[in-house]
């Protein structure tokens, strides 16, 4: 603020020494008794007010301030502003980090698309989702055990406390993985991922009921297009199947609990994302194997395998190997990405991943889709993006 001139008043408002550019505090009182001030020094230079605030005297009630303090200085000798502004500097290291994250994202999406394609091919010829899920975990576990044994990757140091915290994560991961595979064995890949885009709604619900968390209003509002879009896509799905729909819904719920347990289990643990997922795969494999045997069994597997090989030929074996390898790789890269980025960025990347999977599966499998069904999918995915932004 600048004052260009001052008029002499009956009671002086500003006091200053003519030999100093700094003005002393001036006090304007509401009291009838006005103390004697030194005469006001008139300057032809503009005055800059540096501060203006109200002050209490020790004897006065704090609720009734009766004085105003004003500090000013001459324009000829301005004060430096005490402002610390940091400008972002993009150096070589930051640029390399951005490139690294970009590579992680591109690899993550590409691996996920390839996995979903081969996984659907296997399930079309071999409709045994429990064994298919088990083979995916077994392949990844074997890959990591070999990597640790050959020292290609550093083996993690685990203890009983770590394994104890990992157990609920592994249970939730196993349920979510099997439920998603069951869903894709019954419906189109695109439909499963449209329903799975409603995971944020489950996240808010579980966080509120279990953890007692509350969220800003924009977060709740972003759930409306998610729920509405998923519902619209479901009721207009040409090949709607109750088991496929429920499998995707259960998968959403299970993965929300997995994320919650992961946050609790990872506190204070120094383990890389790659090794964390490797340990998770091994424990999930141990949990899933007896249930897979009970649900389907070796006799059904043998008969189904022979039938698939007779229909597809040797390529069927490659499909099984490919879907198992790519399942582990895409999950491993996603956990490695989470090491490098914030959960919000990860959530946005996960949304974009679903778009790539839905579009690619529709093109490759020639999935029939109605305009209203596509509209529902677009609304749900857009709602997921708004949810990610609202949690910023």
How many residues comprise the chain?
392
Q: What are the residues whose beta carbons fall under 8 Å from the beta carbon of 52, sequence distance 6 or more?
A: 1, 68, 69, 70, 71
Classify each residue of 162-199 as buried b or exposed e, where b means 16 or more C-beta atoms within 10 Å of its C-beta. beebbebbbbbbbbbbbbbbbbbbbbbbbbbbbbbbbb
Q: Is the pLDDT of residue 215 over 60?
A: yes
pLDDT at 239: 80
Residue 266 DSSP one-character state = T
Is pTM beyond 0.75? Reply is no
DSSP for 215-265? --HHHHHHHHHHHHHHHHHHHT-TT--HHHHHHHHHHHHHHHHHHHHHHHH
Least confident of 35-39, 95-99, 239-243: 35-39
* pLDDT single digits (tens) 326-346: 999 988 888 777 666 666 566
* pLDDT single digits (tens) 223-264: 899 899 999 988 888 788 999 999 999 999 998 888 788 766
What does pLDDT average to over the chain?
78
* pLDDT single digits (tens) 47-77: 656 555 555 444 444 444 445 556 655 555 5
pLDDT at 7: 43
Q: How many CB atoms lie within 10 A of CB 320?
A: 23
* pLDDT single digits (tens) 281-296: 999 999 999 999 999 9
* pLDDT single digits (tens) 112-126: 999 999 999 999 999
| Stronger pLDDT, 185 or 89, i.e. the higher one | 185
């Amino acid at each position: 603020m600048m004052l260009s001139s001052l008029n002499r008043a009956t009671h002086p408002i500003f006091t200053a020494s003519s030999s100093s550019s700094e003005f002393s505090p001036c006090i304007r009182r509401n009291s009838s008794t006005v103390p004697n001030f030194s005469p006001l020094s008139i300057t032809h230079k503009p005055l800059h007010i540096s501060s203006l605030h109200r002050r209490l005297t020790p004897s006065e009630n704090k609720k009734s301030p009766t004085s105003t303090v004003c500090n000013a200085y001459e324009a000829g000798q301005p004060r430096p502003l005490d402002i610390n502004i940091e400008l972002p500097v993009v150096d070589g290291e930051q640029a390399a980090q951005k490139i690294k994250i970009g590579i992680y994202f591109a690899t993550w999406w590409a691996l996920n698309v390839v996995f979903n394609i081969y996984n659907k091919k296997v399930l079309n010829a071999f409709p045994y989702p429990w064994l298919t899920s088990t083979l995916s975990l077994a392949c990844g576990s074997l890959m990591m055990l070999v990597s640790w044994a050959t020292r290609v990757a550093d083996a993690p140091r685990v203890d009983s406390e770590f394994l104890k915290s990992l157990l609920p994560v592994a249970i939730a991961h196993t349920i979510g993985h099997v439920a998603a595979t069951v869903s894709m064995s019954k419906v189109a890949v695109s439909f499963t991922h449209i329903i799975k885009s409603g995971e944020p709604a489950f996240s808010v619900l579980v966080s509120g009921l279990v953890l007692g968390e509350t969220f800003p209003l924009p977060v709740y509002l972003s759930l409306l297009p998610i729920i509405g879009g998923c519902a619209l896509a479901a009721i207009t799905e040409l090949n709607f199947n109750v088991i496929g729909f429920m499998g995707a819904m259960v998968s959403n719920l299970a993965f929300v609990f997995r994320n919650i347990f992961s946050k609790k289990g990872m506190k204070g643990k120094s383990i890389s994302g790659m090794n964390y997922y490797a340990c998770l795969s091994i424990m999930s494999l141990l949990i899933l194997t007896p249930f897979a045997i009970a649900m389907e069994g070796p006799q059904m597997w043998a008969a189904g395998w022979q039938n698939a090989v007779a229909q597809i030929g040797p390529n069927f074996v490659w499909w099984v190997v490919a879907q198992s390898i790519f399942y582990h790789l895409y999950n491993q890269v996603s956990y490695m990405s989470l090491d490098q980025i914030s959960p919000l960025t990860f959530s946005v990347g996960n949304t974009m991943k679903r778009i790539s999977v839905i579009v690619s599966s529709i093109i490759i499998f020639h999935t029939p889709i109605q305009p209203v069904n596509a509209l529902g999918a677009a609304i749900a995915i857009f709602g997921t993006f708004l949810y990610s932004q609202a949690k910023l």
